[in-house]
């Protein structure tokens, strides 16, 4: 593994070139000044948009400002993430944040104004000003919200209540990240120490079952003790969601949440139903896990320990990149050529160094290029991370290249498709190339665990969200007992009869922060099955699917997510994508059992 004690030791080719954004801080400051000047101009349009020309002038200036503001934010974010200890970078980041607040204040009037127009007036403005054709689709998308907008007085009242309405999420965030004291565990020297989240993630995967049990008990201890408090808090969050949906005239909190992406409620419900109809392979895998671990009773603290130890393979960054290029070759010459250039043009910050932000991400900057942050460790896990993030980066690259600024950003609903397509192609390539039975077994297990975490766990969470909101809408109680019973029931449904339940299982809902961003996690599952469906057809040599997929990458948000996916052959209004993915999961479980 290549390690670097100082950023200066990292080869130039493995570091971002931020001069692609700004060659100096003075250039950055000039854009900050421009953004603030434009924001002041935009503020003057409040009450003064009364025809097509003035509407276009506002929107055009706003787009110019957003372009510069994104660059301002990106530069400070990247500078800070390179070294989070850099005080100057933190100062610039704070200044960018303050600039963003002023922009929001200056443009806050526009959406309420737009939604006070009647349809005929908006149509008249568009007819008056030919240049508004560029913004027309976006204007009508925004106009969809009109039936659910309240009077000006009521909207202002809700706006004033914003901080109070977000209190449950804020409270949970503070409780979960700052105030929760985990129980004690024994360290390597035999001393009692308080468990941390970082320690837990490692200990729950330890081969020593006693280590796992001790960590499990200590981790769940505060959630058990605070069960009533957290239940009351989550109930407040759920009731806030259902009340706001009712006030605005939506049929349910679920339908309100899906409205922005134009997703029918049937898609959500069909996802849950299709998962349950295909649950047997997961139950089979749970039984295999019990057999492989050789335990009399399989319990929750046995679900994370690897069944196949990670293969200790030294894979240099260049080797990982070359393997990626080979694995993704089915995506065609243009895709591979662009991907090769990413390494050469320094779009990727590769190495872990002191102070650098952990993890990995991609951020596409319109008008420049994608920037990818890694903490590459020359191992198999890093190779999968590289392939995943480059999927996001290529999606950003093609969308930004082929779309105008207004439709270049893709929606969260489709965000994980490109990254997962890449991962599926990589794992199929590695399975095909390897002659090592241990490596093959490891790869099969890696994919099974990925499928379980990205699909089944997220669907289970989505099921929990749906049922809690339906209970609130039916005015049924949401207290600690009812939440515990519901979560335990769902855990049994998804994990099957092999698992023996400890008391802690039923408290699992209380440690999930995603429940304070309702009806979000299902998108992981829909994106995952969509990607598997696409990738397997590409591997089968389906040229039409390949061409449609590449067009999907170029499409940004020019259509709603379901429409974009349908053009690739994925129809999420049916159970077919889930059924196809589940067939692959079942085959992989069978192959693992025989390996």
CB count within 10 Å of CB 592 equals 22
**What backbone torsions phi and psi does residue 205 show, to the nearest 5 degrees?**
-105, 5
CB count within 10 Å of CB 141 equals 13
Q: What is the DSSP string of 334-387?
A: HHHHHHHHHHHTT-EEEE--TTPPPS-EEEE-TTS-EEEEEEE-SSHHHHHHHH
CB count within 10 Å of CB 340 equals 14
Query: Which helix (H) or strand (E) is 402 found in, with range?
Result: helix 380-402
Q: Determine the pLDDT at residue 2.
A: 54
Q: Determine the pLDDT at residue 310.
A: 74
What distance in Å separates the CA atoms of residue 257 and residue 267, rounded to the nearest whole number?
A: 13
Instruction: Provide the mean pLDDT of the chain.
Output: 95
Query: Which helix (H) or strand (E) is 185 found in, with range?
Result: strand 184-186
User: CATH number of the domain at 7-163, please?
Assistant: 1.20.140.70
What distance in Å separates the CA atoms of residue 223 and residue 510, rounded to the nearest whole number?
A: 6
Residues 6+ apart with CB under 8 A from 275: 455, 456, 459, 525, 578
Please give the distance of CA 84 from its chain centroid, rounded to a whole number: 23
Answer yes or no: are the C-beta atoms of 392 and 342 closer than 8 Å.
no
Which one-letter DSSP state was computed for residue 297? S
Task: Provide the annotated active-site residues.
Answer: 389
Task: Give first-to-last CA distance, the chain, whole Å.
Answer: 29
Q: Give the angle 40-43-44 at the CA atoms, nearest 5°.
A: 95
User: CATH number of the domain at 167-180+226-310+412-595, please?
Assistant: 1.10.1370.20
- CA 397 to each of CA 327, 367, 400: distance values in angstroms, whole numbers, following the listed order: 19, 10, 5
What distance in Å separates the CA atoms of residue 533 and residue 582, rounded to the nearest whole number?
A: 10
Question: Which pair of tokens denotes residue 339?
Answer: 């991907």
Q: Consecutive 10-residue runs of the chain (595 residues): their mean pLDDT? A: 76 94 97 97 95 97 97 96 92 94 91 92 96 96 92 83 90 90 90 91 94 97 97 98 96 97 96 94 97 96 91 90 98 97 95 91 97 94 96 98 97 96 96 93 95 97 98 96 98 96 97 95 96 96 97 97 97 93 95 92
Q: Determine the pLDDT at residue 3.
A: 61
What distance in Å separates the CA atoms of residue 532 and residue 529, rounded to the nearest whole number?
A: 5
Q: Determine the pLDDT at residue 383.
A: 95
* Structural domain spans, the chain: 7-163, 167-180+226-310+412-595
7-163 and 167-180+226-310+412-595 have identical folds: no
Q: Determine the pLDDT at residue 441.
A: 95
Q: At what angle do helices 52-82 and 87-107 cross, to 10 degrees?
A: 160
């Amino acid at each position: 593994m290549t390690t670097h004690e100082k950023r200066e030791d990292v080869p130039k080719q493995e570091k971002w070139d931020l001069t692609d954004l700004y060659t100096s801080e003075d250039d950055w400051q000039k854009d900050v000044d421009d953004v603030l000047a434009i924001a002041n101009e935009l503020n003057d349009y409040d009450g003064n948009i009364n025809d097509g020309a003035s509407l276009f002038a506002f929107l055009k200036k706003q787009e110019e400002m957003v372009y510069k503001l994104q660059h301002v934010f990106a530069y400070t974010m990247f500078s800070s993430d390179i070294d989070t200890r850099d005080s100057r970078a933190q100062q610039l980041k704070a200044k960018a944040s303050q600039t963003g607040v002023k922009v929001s204040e200056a443009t806050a009037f526009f959406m309420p104004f737009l939604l006070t127009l009647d349809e005929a007036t908006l149509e008249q403005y568009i007819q008056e000003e030919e240049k508004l054709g560029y913004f027309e689709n976006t204007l009508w998308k925004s106009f969809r919200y009109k039936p659910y907008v309240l009077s000006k007085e009521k909207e202002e009242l809700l706006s004033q209540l914003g901080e109070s309405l977000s209190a449950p999420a804020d409270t949970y965030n503070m409780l979960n990240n700052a105030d929760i004291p985990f129980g004690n565990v024994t360290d390597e020297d035999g001393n009692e120490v308080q468990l941390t989240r970082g320690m837990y993630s490692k200990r729950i995967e330890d081969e020593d079952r006693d280590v796992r049990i001790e960590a499990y008990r200590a981790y769940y201890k505060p959630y058990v003790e605070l069960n009533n408090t957290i239940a009351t808090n989550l109930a407040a969050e759920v009731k806030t969601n259902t009340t706001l949906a009712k006030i605005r005239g939506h049929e349910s909190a679920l339908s309100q949440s899906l409205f922005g992406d134009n997703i029918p409620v049937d898609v959500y419900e069909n996802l849950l139903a299709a998962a349950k109809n295909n649950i047997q392979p997961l139950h089979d895998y749970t039984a295999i896990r019990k057999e492989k671990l050789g335990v009399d009773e399989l319990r929750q603290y046995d679900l994370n320990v690897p069944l196949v130890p990670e293969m200790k393979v030294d894979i240099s960054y260049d080797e990982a990149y070359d393997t990626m290029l080979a694995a993704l070759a089915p995506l065609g010459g243009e895709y591979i050529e662009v991907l090769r250039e990413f390494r050469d043009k320094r779009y990727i910050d590769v190495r872990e160094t002191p102070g650098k932000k952990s993890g990995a991400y991609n951020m596409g900057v319109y008008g420049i290029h994608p920037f990818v942050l890694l903490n590459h460790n020359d191992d198999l896990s890093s190779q999968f991370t590289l392939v995943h993030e480059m999927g996001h980066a290529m999606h950003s690259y093609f969308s930004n290249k082929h779309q105008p600024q207004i439709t270049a950003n893709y929606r969260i609903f489709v965000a994980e498709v490109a990254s997962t397509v890449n991962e599926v192609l990589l794992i199929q390539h590695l399975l095909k190339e390897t002659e090592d039975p241990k490596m093959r077994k490891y790869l099969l297990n890696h994919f099974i665990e990925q499928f379980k975490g990205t699909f089944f766990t997220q669907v289970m969470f989505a099921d929990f969200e749906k049922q809690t909101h339906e209970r609130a809408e039916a005015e049924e109680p949401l207290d600690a007992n009812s939440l515990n019973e519901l979560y335990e029931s769902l855990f049994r449904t998804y994990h099957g009869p092999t698992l023996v339940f400890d008391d802690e299982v039923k408290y699992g809902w209380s440690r999930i922060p995603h429940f304070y961003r309702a009806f979000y996690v299902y998108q992981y599952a829909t994106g995952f099955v969509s990607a598997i469906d696409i990738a397997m057809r590409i591997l089968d040599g389906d040229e039409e699917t390949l061409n449609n997929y590449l067009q999907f990458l170029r499409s940004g948000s020019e259509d709603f997510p379901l429409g974009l996916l349908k053009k690739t052959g994925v129809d999420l209004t049916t159970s077919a994508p889930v059924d196809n993915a589940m067939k692959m999961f079942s085959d992989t479980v069978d192959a693992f059992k025989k390996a």
